[in-house]
Each structure stands twice: as structure tokens, then as C-alpha cells.
Structure 1
């Protein structure tokens, strides 16, 4: 638990039970951020990587967020121009190489959520190396959704259950969750979406059933530590009922 003096003033008095323990973010708006500045879309993706670094380190520093899950690459993103796809793959590979020391210094454990088969071998190698090196870290878990689609995840879970020989009467919500990419992790408490979009975009459909949703008009490259604090405060103001009533 962090010392209160290390927390931003607006969060210092927030009771620990009011904090979101798992935050999931749909990082949207890199291309629009660049286009508004007369820059190529790739410049927005490069700036977005810097925001990933800043927000990951701040979430870890706050000390009460156990999981941060970032939507890095959708399984639908392969429809984009090949030039952009190639750039994103190289950017992802370089992120894994360059951020590894920071990840280790911050005691962050990295995992990947998504289908591995379509990813280039050299990109997978760097992802796996980061996962391997950080596997014994005991701090915040950084879950990177790469080539991820929630419908595909659910299909993969069904296939896994069938292959396991599980009987229909044995399939409970808890058992099903153990066959998802997120097995062993708590469901998100808070889903954040940037760039003002009001849709889920095939992201963690099973896991966000009871998550609070907070949307900001800021594009991802403009998302700052202060924006993260704002999201946490907004979450803390809400009453989570899980279908029931406050008494």
C-alpha cells in the first residue's frame, strides 16, 4: 500500500476500498490526434506509446491498482493498410525491447491476452521475453491485449472446454472463466475509453459485465496522469450494485 504522502492530493484521502483494483483501457484516438496536427497517423501511434509508458508507471506507482489491461491491437485492426500494420508491428517489437528495463525496475508483471498465431515471429519473441523476464515480479500486472477480440476469446474458451471433456453440468461461470485468456485475474472494476467513443469495440465482453464505464473526450496521446486520477475519483463516487439495491 502506498504512503498517503506519495499520493496526489486529490487521491490521498480516498479510502482503499473505493479504489478500482483492475482498470481496463480502450486506447483510442492516436490517428485522430495526429491528423488534427497535420501529422501522419504513425506519429500518433508513436506518441501513444509514450502515454502507455506514463500511465503504466503512474498506475503502478499509485500502489492500489493490481491489474492494468490495455487494448493494444484488436483482431479487427488487420483490416488497416499494410503500411500501418507493418509500422504497428515494429512499434510493438521496439516497445517490448525498450520498455523491458522500466518494467523490471517498477516490479511490473507482463502478460498477453489474444491470439498468437497471426503475430510475426520476431514480435512474439520479444513479447515472450518480456513475459519471461517479468514473470517473478510481484507488483502490478500489465495485461496487454494484442490481436485480441472478445468474441474470439469466448469461442476459444468454448473450444478449450470441449477439448477438456468437461460435462455440460460442470460448466459454471467460474469454470468458464478459467478457460478465458484472463484466467486467474479479477474482472475489471473500471473500463476507460478515450476519444469520446461510446462503444465497447469487442473488448472483454465477458469480463466487463459489472464494470463501471468512464469515457473521456481526450485522444489517447493526450491522456495524462491527471486524467487517470480523474477516472479513479469518478469510479470512487459511484455505487456498485451488481443488480441489487443499496441498503
Structure 2
């Protein structure tokens, strides 16, 4: 358990990287890496909410992931359905609200049905918010926000950060305080570009399926040791 609740970041963002490399290193199918990664995320997410995190967002499927093999994409869609159904059961019990952000026009009907049910059933929960980024691109989010502003007829001289934020996907979600990425890669890969402007970044060399609650605790401790300046 983390001792100082007051030092817990409100919004933790996670880039879950390394599933495929984890599977390759073990000589097992790529799909098994994704399955194991899904189980790890459930465990870490439950721990995060139990220790005071109010918003936990995860980069589950990026817009670029459509370029993977048809077999892998198909499996990922099936895994997402199963994971969302399982998360609905687990997180609803703890009063967690499930939100999905990203494009939805390219998702098949079964995926849409699963995520719409999860959002509907948990919409009144207020003990925390789980944000699943699905078919998501940070650049596309900014483009879509800009289009929304133009369509509303807002004049350039009236535009400010507050108005822009109101036109982002799920505009009520706060900025990221702590952003964690696994697998040793040190880049954002387009994840929540607007909301991560002043996030504290923690990079783990572990591949996502090897990530543990103890690693998450370590990330929280690193966050607590930093002095946030917000550009000042």
C-alpha cells in the first residue's frame, strides 16, 4: 500500500508496450502476449484505484495498430470484447466508471456493443474512472477538436485553452499527472498529446506482461520525489 494518499496522482496514463516482444522472447504466439498483458492491466488497475488514483487511462489500441496483420487485429478485437466484459464485472463492483475514447466508426458491431454496454452500466459510478483508448490517436483528437471548434463558429480571437479543452474527446477528463510507459521505449507515440503536456514521465524497461504492482508502486514513488513546475 502507498502511505501518503495526498501525493497520489489524480490521473495516471499508461502506454502498455511490449506484449509482442514478450511473446517472441518466449517463443510463443504473439496473441498470448496480448492475453497476458490484459490480465496484468486488470491487476494494476485495481491496485491503482484501491490506492487513490481517480483516473486511469490506457493506450489499448492505437489508430496505427490497424496496420498489423489481419489475424492479430482480429484477435485483438476479440480480446478487447472479452476484456471489456470482464472489466465491467470487476470494476462495476468497485464503483468504477468505464469510458472509451477514440474513433468508433471503424470498430465492428460486437466491439461497439461491448463498449457501449460497459459505458452505460457504469455511467453513474463515482469511485474512479477507467479510460480505455481504443482506435485512438492524439493527433487525430487535436484535429477533431479543431474541426468541432470551426463547426461551432468560434472565432479565432475568442479561442483559448479552455475552449479547446472543451472540444477534446471526453472533455471532462483532467490532464495526466503521471505517464508510465513500459518496454524501455522513451516516447509518447501520440498518446493524449494535449493532456500530457505537463505530465511527469516514468519509463520502465520491463515488457508490459512482466509489469507488476510493485513496479507501479515504484512509479508512484518516483512521482512523489519530483517537484512539478508546470512549465514555470
What's the TM-score, normalizing by structure 1? 0.92
Q: 1:50 aligns with which of 39, 42, 45?
A: 39
Q: 1:116 aligns with which of 104, 107, 117?
A: 104
Root-mean-square deviation (CA), in Å? 0.9
2:211 aligned with 1:213, yes or no? no
2:68 aligned with 1:84, yes or no? no
Extract unaligned runs of 5+ from structure 2.
Answer: none
Residue 235 of structure 1: CA displacement? 0.2
Given that residues 101 and 136 in structure 2 are in contact (C-alpha distance below 8 angstroms), is that contact kept between their aligned partners in structure 1?
A: yes
Partner of 1:183: 171
TM-aligned CA distance change 1:99 to 1:15, over 3 Å: closer
Residue 101 of structure 1: CA displacement? 1.3
Given that residues 100 and 131 in structure 2 are in contact (C-alpha distance below 8 angstroms), is that contact kept between their aligned partners in structure 1?
A: yes
| 1:140-190 C-alpha deviation (Å, 9 max, x unpaired) | 100000000001001100111111111212211011011011401110001
Q: 1:125 aligns with which of 106, 113, 119?
A: 113
What's the TM-score, normalizing by structure 2? 0.98
Residue 15 of structure 1: CA displacement? 5.7
Extract unaligned runs of 5+ from structure 1.
Answer: 1-7
Partner of 2:159: 171
Partner of 1:32: 21
Q: What SS is found at the alignment partner of 2:61?
A: strand
Residue 23 of structure 1: CA displacement? 0.3
Partner of 1:230: 218
Residue 40 of structure 1: CA displacement? 0.7
2:200 aligned with 1:242, yes or no? no
Residue 60 of structure 1: CA displacement? 1.1
2:76 aligned with 1:66, yes or no? no
| 1:102-154 C-alpha deviation (Å, 9 max, x unpaired) | 11111110111101111111101100000000001111100000000001001
Q: What SS is found at the alignment partner of 1:145?
A: strand
How many positions carry a matched residue from both structures?
232
Residue 53 of structure 1: CA displacement? 0.8
Question: Distance in 2 between the 1:97 and 1:110 partners?
Answer: 11
Q: What SS is found at the alignment partner of 1:214?
A: strand
Q: 2:141 aligns with which of 153, 160, 169?
A: 153
